[in-house]
Structure formats: C-alpha cells, structure tokens
Amino acid sequence: MSDEPVLTTHRDVAFDPETYVTMYYSRVTCEEGDMLTFFLDCLKNAFKSGEISGMKLLDIGTGPVLHTAFCAAPWFEEITLSDFDQNNLDFLQKWKDGKISHMGPVFAYLSETNEKGMEVDKRQDELRRKIQHIVHSDVTLPNPLVSTPVDGVVFDAITSSLCLEAASITIEDYVKTVRNLSSLLKPGGHLVITGVLEETFYRIGDVRFKCTYISKDQVQDIYQKEGFEIVRLKDLKETCSSPKYLGEYSDYQNAYVMIAKKVQQ
C-alpha cells in the first residue's frame, strides 16, 4: 500500500467492490459508537413499523452493499437498485443471481433484530425476488435515471446510503443532487438517507475519494428548502459519548440517518 493514497473522485477512478466490502462491512462489532452498528439499528427502526411502504422503492447509489434494501424489502413490492459505477452494478447482479455470497454478518445482525421473525436466508430470497431492476444512475443529472428501464418512474420511497456527499464536492453540488433526487419521488413519499458529516474523504485500498464537507445544520436546511419535512434525524453523537472513528480510512466527525417526507412538488 502506498504511503500517500491518491485523492480523487468516483468519476476518475473505478470502484473496487470487494475491497470496500472487506474494509467496511465484513463484521458487525455491536460496540457503542460503531458507525455501522448505528446505521443498521437506525435503518431497522426506520422500517419496522411499516409506515414507510408502497409499491416501488428506489435505492440510489447502492454501491456493492445491500443493507438498506434488505431493511426496506418487506414493505415494498418492486425494488430498483442503482449506482454510477459499472463494477458495483455487476457485483449486485452477481448477488441477485446467486453467484456470490455477500454481507453475511450484516444480514445476520439485521435478521436477529427483525420483528417480522424471518430467517436470514428467507429474507435474502425475498430481496432477490423483489429486485426488479439494477440500473445506472447519476445524481448529478437533473434526471438521475435517464435512458434506463425506469426512466420516468416516480417512486413511493427512495433510500440512499453514503451517496450524496460522495457524489458531490461542494455544497452547491450537494444541493443539486438533493433537487435531482426529489424529482424521482412522489409527493408525500419518503426519503431515508444515511450519511456522514464533516468529512472530506474516505478510503478504499490505496485510493482516497473526495466528499462534500457538510454539517448537520446544513443538511437540515438544504432538505427543508428543497420541499421536505424532516420527520426524524438522528446522529451518531446523540447515541454515545465517544464515537469510533475510522482513522486513516475516513475523517468523518459524525454520521446520521434521516427520514424526510416530500411535502412540495
């Protein structure tokens, strides 16, 4: 591994799905302050009541990971996964086709805490069945799903995990991605967003990817100005006295999970 990792963007360097999963999703520690455990618990709680539900769900910027779709799957009939990088789309397709085993510890943790009581294998089968499309997306475009089989579809709910801050560099870019995402969501529909705060990079192997440095107040202000009511926003520092930071892997200072409802066209 080089002493000075390359600092770049997702448009300039292809994503490495296997390395990313190994670095960030290969184990669930359940330690207080662990970011992954925080995300998983918040996502489980976001969907457990069935309040966020409907026919069509879009997961934007899925990457090679499926924990968000896994949590949402019981409450939707048709799921679209999407990402900018073709390596991630190929990886997701292999999982759907049963060619690779993936995220076992994460799925096991979510199944153990699932009030529906379904076994992990059955829940994976359910998710595979409900995934109808795996498509290219670009949240920097006014229509992020242009020229795909779901171009023109308006979704009942949209989920996104660690995507928007990585897809943009400036706050102005970030605002545009929120606006673009909103165009895909029906009025009254829900967003469930997982993100990091005050981060400038995260690392995959020898590559450091740039991110938008954004605060919690800025996140809330942007979504409200773009026509969303923030139903709930919980951040990692609220849950513990000492968050577990990732050191050389990332310089984030906090993390959050937000549920927001679209209240304006």
Q: Give the per-residue pLDDT at 138.
A: 96
Q: Give the per-residue pLDDT at 113.
A: 57
pLDDT exceeds 70 at position 90: yes
Burial of 260 (0-12, 13-18, 19+ CB in 10 A): buried
pLDDT exceeds 80 at position 13: no
pLDDT exceeds 50 at position 45: yes
Average pLDDT over residues 47-59: 95
**Residue 157's beta-bridge partner residues?**
57, 190
Q: With contact defined as beta carbons under 8 Å apart, do 189 and 54 qualify?
A: yes
pLDDT exceeds 50 at position 257: yes
Burial letters 97-117, b for 16+ CB under 10 A, else e: eeeeebbeebbebbbeebeee
Q: Give the per-residue pLDDT at 1.
A: 41
pLDDT in tens, 172-196: 999 999 999 999 999 999 999 999 9
Is residue 209 one of the residues assigned to a domain?
yes
Is residue 240 one of the residues assigned to a domain?
yes
∠ Cα 164 203 201 (to 5°): 50
pLDDT exceeds 70 at position 203: yes
Q: Give the per-residue pLDDT at 87.
A: 95
Q: Give the per-residue pLDDT at 206.
A: 83
Average pLDDT over residues 67-90: 96
Which residue stretches of the chain are H helix? Answer: 17-24, 35-47, 67-72, 86-96, 104-112, 120-130, 164-167, 171-182, 216-225, 236-239
Is residue 172 one of the residues assigned to a domain?
yes
pLDDT exceeds 80 at position 29: yes
- Domain count within the chain: 1
Distance CA 78, CA 76 (A): 6
Q: Lowest-confidence range among 19-33, 113-127, 161-175?
A: 113-127
pLDDT exceeds 70 at position 111: yes
pLDDT in tens, 122-155: 999 999 999 999 999 999 999 999 999 999 999 9
Average pLDDT over residues 222-231: 97
Is residue 150 one of the residues assigned to a domain?
yes
Distance CA 129, CA 35 (A): 29
Is residue 153 one of the residues assigned to a domain?
yes
**What are the phi and psi torsion angles at 39 (to 5°)?**
-60, -45
pLDDT exceeds 80 at position 212: yes
pLDDT exceeds 80 at position 4: no
Is residue 1 one of the residues assigned to a domain?
no
Distance CA 233, CA 258 (A): 4
Is residue 53 one of the residues assigned to a domain?
yes
Q: With contact defined as beta carbons under 8 Å apart, do 214 and 166 qualify?
A: no
Structural domain that includes position 188: 6-262
Is residue 249 one of the residues assigned to a domain?
yes
Q: With contact defined as beta carbons under 8 Å apart, do 162 and 194 qualify?
A: yes
For residue 73, the surrounding DSSP H or E stretch is none
Q: Which residue has the higher pLDDT, 234 or 15?
A: 234
Average pLDDT over residues 37-54: 94
Distance CA 87, CA 20 (A): 12
Q: Give the per-residue pLDDT at 2.
A: 45
Average pLDDT over residues 105-132: 84
CATH number of the domain to which 50 belongs? 3.40.50.150
